[in-house]
């Protein structure tokens, strides 16, 4: 079922832009969390199936990935998954509790907990079979439209494991790094190796680019990030660095970490709506392609405010080597899908 | 019951440092959210009384404000209140739902909702009587220890009013500013006037400094902040600018807004744990006193990691005109109070 890497549409304008190549084509756009709750066809196919089950059913995960590409005409699919899918595949007991988020049955807080994490290796590769199959199905269906592989970053994933579920300030996780850096390193290394395998499987099965998504990294200072987190994110990205795919890295509320996150081995930086793209481009030294950063708030305004924001983002992105349009955060579940479809059409009607 | 402004201990080292005056004394320290759930004596006196009720019972609010000063020996009290207390006093129906946060019975989302907000004036001043009384009682009891007045900033307060309760991304509020800036302005102006009266009442009753606390402002870009929010925060701060008290301003995850928030009329900037103090001091131009920013995560480590962080914060703060020690965020409810007491003693044993 695996697509050979050669089958990847690596010449699509979106992929070329992620690589920083200049392209004479209308703006390229996809939306973080475009696959999911905002779409009625998603809610329909998910009915009766839990979130994590649906991530592990290849035909279903593929269908969900394809839905927003069909509906909105976005320039890439993003592989439908969840940041805790790798942990589930490795054998940890975790579920996504509706209205709450990922919850681990046994939080990982002590050295003994960390020592008891399942070993990674051949069994992991076998467990990744449904991922490879889902990606293969999706890529075959997408044709010339590229698929972006998806993975949660080690700090965010580990913080769910340590806290046991969503938390506002990730205090236990951040205390662990300071109190027992060696134990933290072992935990984060485990997550990073697992995540690297998860991401590599997606690329080998046909993904044309990857995005490493760090929801909570913005809660760290640059010093703490550099000392305790950066090398683990770098390990994930390096797992696909020989495969010639652009590596997008995105953190929420992490404008103070742009340089450090890029230095973890990203080729392309996702920027959230808090920082203007031109400022991000400048901070990154002017030679890094960027992705972003339409404020999701304009999905809830009229056309005028929305188009004004889209135009401003295109203008601010023009100083980058290249720019792929996205939101500054994931699609909110309550978004009217017609607004997204219209926004894609608006963007495609602009000159690059 | 009102203390005359002359009764304010404006020569306390903490107050002088907030003003940027050099003081030969051990480091000054207080903790955001020091009064509250981390203290067993707080849980005891609150039993059977709702959060907002307790804020409006002068003897109780005063007792709660005093508890951490007695227990920890911190160098200031912070007036026990909640960001929605002014709205409650103005007549809006709001309560703090345990485990969730402030919830407004009728969200304010339309022009009609905004037009229907209660008028502010003499009735507001009368409604503030329990606040003045609580501050007066507290100041009388505190003696030479200064009291810091507390107020939520307009963006945060208005976002609770618009969303109806806590929200992750404040999308409706941020959409309102873009879609109907004039309506937003009227709403935020109402909140700012109310907040200014609330803060001024505290100072006139004896508070020696004020802190304007903006929980959610970090979700805004500097451009959006400057265009839609800054002048409303400025209106609150200007309500006490003739009273010769230091005006501390603090936002969570708002290191990208430090300069803009300072320009709203703060004399002293609170810095959260995401940005090193020396960097914040540099961004602010080197002449602004700062407050902060021990990472609350070290409240959950052993002494070594905690003291190392405290020493690092003292060292990084040394480049400011002056520095008042605080946490980089409020005291987490699950904090062991003995850890805070010990941290105060540790800080007081250091040289300034």
Name the residue facing B300 among A172, A276, A299 (closest C-beta).
A172
Q: Do A174 and B253 touch (CB under 8 A)?
A: no
Per the annotation, the verdict on A122 as an active-site residue is no
Query: Nearest 5°: phi and psi at A293?
Result: -145, 50
Name the residue facing A220 among B169, B274, B332 (closest C-beta).
B274
Name the residue facing B276 among A174, A223, A305 (closest C-beta).
A223
d(CA A60, CA B203): 61
Mean pLDDT, to the nearest integer, of B266-283? 97
Interface test with B, best of A110, A167, A178, A277 (most B CBs within 10 A): A178
Domain A9-348 has CATH 3.20.20.210: yes
> The dihedral of CA B80, B83, B88, B90: what is its sign?
positive
Residues of chain A found within 8 Å of residue B175, distances taken between Cβ atoms: 297-301, 305
Per the annotation, the verdict on B247 as an active-site residue is no
Q: Is B215 annotated as a binding residue?
A: yes
pLDDT at A1: 39
Query: CB-based burial of residue A173 (10 Å sphere; 0-12 exposed, 13-18 middle, 19+ buried)?
Result: buried
Which range (A7-11, A315-319, B137-141, B158-162) has the least confidence?
A7-11
Q: Do A296 and B253 touch (CB under 8 A)?
A: no
d(CA A327, CA A348): 15
Per the annotation, the verdict on A17 as an active-site residue is no
pLDDT at A352: 62
pLDDT in tens, A42-94: 999 999 999 999 999 999 999 999 999 999 999 999 999 999 999 999 999 99
Token pair belonging to A246: 């652009």
Judge contact between A207 and A9, C-beta under 8 A: no
pLDDT at A301: 97
Interface test with B, best of A169, A218, A274, A330 (most B CBs within 10 A): A274
Residues of chain B found within 8 Å of residue A274, distances taken between Cβ atoms: 218-221, 256
Q: Do B255 and A253 touch (CB under 8 A)?
A: no
Residues of chain B found within 8 Å of residue A179, distances taken between Cβ atoms: 300-302, 305
pLDDT at B7: 63
For the sheet containing B209-214, what is the strand order?
B77-78, B147-152, B209-214, B247-251, B268-270, B290-294, B323-327
DSSP letter for each residue of B117-156:
SPP-SHHHHHHTHHHHHHHHHHHHHHTTS-EEEEEE-HHH
pLDDT in tens, B77-112: 999 999 999 999 999 999 999 888 999 999 999 999
Q: What is the domain partition of chain B in residue ranges?
A: 9-348
Q: Do A179 and B305 touch (CB under 8 A)?
A: yes
Q: Do A175 and B297 touch (CB under 8 A)?
A: yes
Per the annotation, the verdict on A37 as an active-site residue is yes
Q: Is A215 annotated as a binding residue?
A: yes
Whether the predicted pLDDT of B2 surpasses 70 = no
Per the annotation, the verdict on B272 as an active-site residue is no
Element (H, E) at B281: helix B277-283
Paired with B81 in beta bridges are none
Paired with B325 in beta bridges are B29, B292
Question: Does the predicted TM-score (pTM) go above 0.90?
Answer: yes
Mean pLDDT, to the nearest integer, of A285-292? 96
Residue A219: closest C-alpha in chain B: B274
Collapsing DSSP to helix, strand or coil, B79 comes out as coil
Residues of chain B found within 8 Å of residue A224, distances taken between Cβ atoms: 295
Name the residue facing A296 among B171, B179, B295 (closest C-beta).
B171
């Amino acid at each position: 079922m695996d697509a050979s890497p050669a089958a990847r549409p690596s010449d699509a304008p979106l992929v070329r832009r992620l690589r920083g190549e200049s392209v004479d084509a209308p703006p390229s756009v996809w939306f973080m969390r475009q696959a999911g709750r905002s779409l009625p066809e998603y809610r329909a196919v998910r009915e009766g199936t839990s979130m994590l089950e649906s991530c592990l059913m290849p035909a279903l995960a593929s269908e969900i990935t394809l839905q927003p590409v069909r509906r909105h005409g976005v320039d890439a699919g993003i592989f439908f998954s969840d940041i805790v899918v790798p942990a589930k595949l490795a054998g940890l007991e975790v579920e996504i509790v509706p209205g709450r988020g990922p919850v681990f049955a046994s939080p990982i807080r002590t050295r003994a907990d960390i020592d008891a994490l399942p070993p990674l290796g051949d069994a992991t590769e076998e467990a990744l079979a449904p991922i490879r199959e889902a990606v293969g199905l999706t890529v075959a269906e997408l044709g010339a439209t590229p698929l972006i592989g998806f993975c949660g970053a080690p700090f965010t994933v580990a913080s769910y494991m340590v806290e046991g579920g969503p938390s506002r300030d990730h205090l236990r996780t951040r205390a662990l790094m300071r109190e027992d850096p060696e134990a933290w390193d072992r935990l984060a290394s485990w997550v990073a190796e697992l995540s690297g395998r998860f991401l590599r499987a997606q690329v080998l099965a046909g993904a044309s680019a990857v995005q490493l998504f760090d929801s909570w990294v913005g809660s760290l200072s640059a010093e703490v990030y550099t000392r305790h987190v950066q090398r683990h994110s770098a390990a994930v990205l390096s797992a696909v660095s020989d495969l010639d795919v652009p590596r997008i890295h995105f953190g929420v509320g992490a404008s103070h970490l742009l340089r450090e996150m890029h230095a973890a081995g990203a080729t392309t930086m996702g920027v959230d709506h808090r920082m203007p793209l031109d400022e991000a481009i400048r901070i990154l030294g002017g030679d890094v392609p960027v992705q972003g950063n339409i404020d999701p708030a304009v999905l809830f305004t009229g056309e005028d405010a929305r188009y004004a924001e889209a135009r401003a983002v295109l203008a601010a992105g023009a100083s980058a080597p290249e720019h792929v349009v996205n939101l500054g955060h994931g699609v909110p579940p309550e978004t009217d899908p017609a607004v997204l479809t219209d926004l894609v059409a608006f963007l495609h009607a602009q000159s690059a």
